[in-house]
Amino acid sequence: MGLATRTTNSAESSPSTAKIPLLWGRFTNEHWSERLEEIGAFGPTIAVYSAYESDVSGSYQLLVGRQMRDSRPVSPPLQIVAAAQGAYLAFRCSGPLPQAVIDGWRDVWAYFARGDAPARAYTFDFEVYPDRGSVEIWVAVRDRQQPAD
């Protein structure tokens, strides 16, 4: 559960059209981590990429929030994303934010550009912020037997 926006990697490459910094700013400045905890959220802050239009070049939704134990009705500006189980590869990055995450995603894209890399599933990807010094990027991959969409 958290705050969400829809964007593209192309839009995020320009400060004048980037929505993700605004989303993170709102989440932080309006104390949403604490507000969500008051209604049952737990664990670290998580950013969930979902509702992919296509691939790395298409639009997607990004939700910044925290995990909830149960599903409940929510009112704007809150939204819920329920991610199904799947196969993931995890990438760990560290350093000052947001540059560590930007560099981490560059590493992810370079890894998946390799010919021997598994195919990305473009279902749900996550950034997990377990502490101030590190970020884990979890990228959904297709099972080798799973056909492409």
pLDDT tens sequence across 74-104: 899 999 999 888 999 999 999 998 899 999 9
| Residue-range domain boundaries for the chain | 2-141
Instruction: Note the pLDDT of residue 104.
Output: 95
Q: Is the pLDDT of residue 128 over 90?
A: yes
Q: Determine the CATH number of domain 2-141.
A: 3.20.80.10
Res 32: pLDDT: 97
Give me the pLDDT at residue 144, please. 63
Residues 6+ apart with CB under 8 A from 105: 137
> Is 97 strand, coil or helix?
coil
The mean of the pLDDT values for the chain is 92
Q: What pLDDT, on a 0 to 100 scale, did the predictor assign at position 132?
A: 76
